Amino acid sequence: MAQSLNGYISGPDGKRVALSSDEDWKRVLSLREKSDGIIIGKNTVILDDPELKVGGNCKSARIVIDPGLTIDGKNYKILHGERKTLILNEIKDGISGNIQYIKCGTPFDLAKSLEILYSMGYRNLLVEGGKITAQSFLKAGFVDEMYVFIASVILEDGGIRMPAVSSIRRNAVKRITLINGGILLNIDPGEWK
């Protein structure tokens, strides 16, 4: 995740704000290229309309968590292009062009979705989703490594903040790295349970 100095991961009403510096963006692209799939939630698709670009011949799948198929049939960038897009949902299975629908229980079951992805050969997943997606993975204990880039930017009030915890956690940061445009924190994801 990337956040502003005052803790926002987006602008007012969820509006996308470029927080990563050039150096951090290169780090993110490298993580994308090493992953089997990049996971985001439907709200990120609706608010940001990302392509989830990668470099070179990288074939990492774009994976969207969309239990109710809110984005289905719409004209979002993630639903187009040559790379495979998986839509994890609670309604249907099937394939339509480069889009594969995967039913993951009714109601939607995050653990089941990861079991299905694992059975399909997806081992190294990068979660780039917004607050709801990130918090779901963190609270379930499904995060092995967590990085937060704190940009040298202060945003106006009204945006979306980082995921929260239910009580105070201390010594959550494993490593701090100064990079151009901000600070990169390697955080112990177990502190979010």
Q: What is the pLDDT of residues 34-72, one digit of tens each?
A: 999 999 999 999 999 998 988 766 778 999 999 999 999
Which pLDDT band, with edges at 50, 70 and 90, does 164 fall under? Answer: confident
Predicted confidence at residue 102, as pLDDT, reads 98
Torsion 45-39-51-9 (CA) sign: positive
**pLDDT of residue 10 exceeding 90:** yes
pLDDT of amino acid 167: 80
Q: What is the pTM of this model?
A: 0.93
Give the count of beta carbons closer than 10 Å to the beta carbon of residue 86: 22
Q: What's the CA gap between 148 and 108, in Å, rounded?
A: 27
Asked whether 23 and 178 are in contact (CB, 8 A), the reply is no
Nearest to 92 by CA among 80, 79, 106: 106
d(CA 92, CA 24): 37
Q: Roughly how many angstroms between the first and final C-alpha of the chain, as a whole number?
A: 17
3-state secondary structure (DSSP) of residue 116 = helix
